[in-house]
Amino acid sequence: MSLEIEIKFSLNGRQTRLKVSPTMTTLAMLREKLDLTGGKLACGEGECGACTVLVDGHTINSCLMFAVDCDGRELQTIEGLATDAGLEIVQQAFVDHGAIQCGYCMPGMIMQARYLLDHNPDKGRKMTRDDIARGLEGNVCRCSGYTKVVDAVAAVVLEESPS
């Protein structure tokens, strides 16, 4: 009988409780146990960022995080970003700026972009295109060539701090 651990955590604002194997990754838990298939398994070793989710306000590669480690934490996935009112501002910017082609990497890319906008390490200064590109270094996209991705994030930078 293989070991299962009960964990409790907040998932997109809702308390969640379930049992997971100690070797299960957070990504597998989200996809297979919670039907949250927005985050993708594209490499499984933290090299592409397609599985990016927010844990306690910080993005991580959910393919590298064990599900047991979610216990007591706060998770936000791409499914928790949009509201009833519509797309979140970053999502809308990605749509409007044509950043999305096949879209497979986009849930991860958008979560990382959201994090970047909230955690501009140099808070006194507006992010430049180079800052944005650096912040998205861990997210591989094979369709867009990144230009429109950076366009979209740069537009949100302006929109969220217009001065």
Site for other proteins in 80-109 (CB under 8 A): 81-82, 87, 91-92, 94-107
Q: How far apart are CA 117 and CA 154, in angstroms?
A: 9
What is the DSSP-derived secondary structure letter of residue 75? Answer: E
157 binds other proteins (CB under 8 A): no
The answer to whether 40 and 62 have CB atoms below 8 angstroms apart is: no
- How many residues at the interface with other proteins, by CB under 8 A? 82
Q: How far apart are CA 86 and CA 93, in angstroms?
A: 12
- C-alpha of 145 from chain center: 19
Among 12, 16, 18, 64, binds other proteins (CB under 8 A): 64
Of 8, 71, 82, 68, whose CA–CA distance to 38 is shortest?
A: 82
50 binds other proteins (CB under 8 A): yes
Q: Which stretch binds other proteins (CB under 8 A): 9-17, 36-44, 154-162?
A: 36-44
Q: Could you tell me the smallest distance in angstroms from the CB atom of residue 23 to other proteins?
A: 7
Q: Which stretch binds other proteins (CB under 8 A): 9-17, 39-47, 155-163?
A: 39-47
